Amino acid sequence: MSAFDNVVVVGKLKLKGKPLAVKGGGVSKKNKKKRSNYYHQLSQASQGVIGGEAVMDDTENDGGRGQAGAYDDHLTPAERRYLQQTERIQLKKLAKMAKKSHRDRVQEFNHYLANLSEHHDIPKVGPG
């Protein structure tokens, strides 16, 4: 007999510690708490009524800026300048694209492709 005969364990594994909460091969899950009252309040808030009183729109208070007004309150001056600059750049790009028709853009692209060097082409190998 070898020294390993007493060490080898035969049979199913046994887990130490707290037993698992297993029912019939499945895992039991906690039930989620129902928050129907919370969702009901949210739906009323979106309709503009909370607690029976009408809620004033923020658009009236911030001079017509809408939701952007609440967002702008948290921005630093540098962030505001950055957003304004990106808006200006986007408007310039749109104006530039609006000037050209699709046909003009295709012709310009074809002209660009024609001027490219053809270093990717493989020359013919062999006689002839």
pTM, whole model, 2 decimals?
0.32
Q: Residue 113: pLDDT band by 50, 70, 90 thresholds?
A: confident
The residue ranges of every structural domain in the chain are 62-114
Over residues 28-85, the pLDDT tens digits come to 677 877 666 666 676 777 666 555 555 555 445 545 555 666 677 888 999 999 999 9
E strand segments, the chain: 22-23, 26-27, 49-50, 53-54
At 121 the pLDDT is 64
pLDDT of 86 above 70: yes
Query: Closest Cα to residue 99, out of 86, 88, 108?
Result: 108
Query: Closest Cα to residue 58, out of 70, 46, 45?
Result: 70
Task: Tell which wins on pLDDT, 57 or 19.
Answer: 19
